[in-house]
Amino acid sequence: MWKKNFMFRAQESKPLQESENELFHDTEPAVDSAGMHLEKFISVWVQGEGEDDAPKLFTNVYVRTATLDAQKRAGFLQPLQGRSHQIKQMLTPGQKAFLKDWLIKTSPEAWNSAEDTFRSLFDTD
């Protein structure tokens, strides 16, 4: 199975260098948000068939919101959402455009082999 994670600040169109695992791996779940300076993130997981950096077919997308106080190393991860209408609502047009462009450039074969319902998740209209 091939998979890739993109972490976006909530309203930014370009992902961070760090993945969800890198940002949230060593954080404690926040029990109370009082006094915290939380930043909102969008985590996007794309899955498919293939090996590491060689996807052959894109099959699934999951999205979740996350909040993190980087100084206190505490945050919240929401459950993954995999339904089309949820994904379309959670991603900004800029995020959709970035992801579509990245997927097409990374593997035109995997993009062209993906189902129409997968590709439509990244429509910006």
Q: What share of the chain is helix, strand, coil (3-state, %, to 5)?
A: 30, 35, 35
pLDDT tens-digit readout, 8-64: 999 999 999 988 888 877 666 656 667 778 889 999 999 999 987 789 999 999 999
| Lookup result for tokens 């993945």 | 19
**pTM, rounded to two decimals:** 0.88
Helix (H) / strand (E) element for 82: namely none
Residue 41 lies in a domain: yes
Q: What is the pLDDT of residue 99?
A: 98
Helix (H) / strand (E) element for 26: namely none
Residue 26 lies in a domain: yes
CA separation (Å) from 50 to 70, 102, 123? Answer: 34, 16, 24
Residue 125 lies in a domain: no
Residue 74 lies in a domain: yes
Residue 83 lies in a domain: yes
| Rounded CA separation 102/67 (Å) | 25
pLDDT over threshold 90, residue 113: yes
Residue 124 lies in a domain: no
Number of domains forming the structure of the chain: 1
Of 18, 48, 103, nearest in space to 7 by CA: 18
Phi, psi of 108, deg, nearest 5: -55, -35
Residue 8 lies in a domain: yes
* Structural domain span for residue 69: 2-119
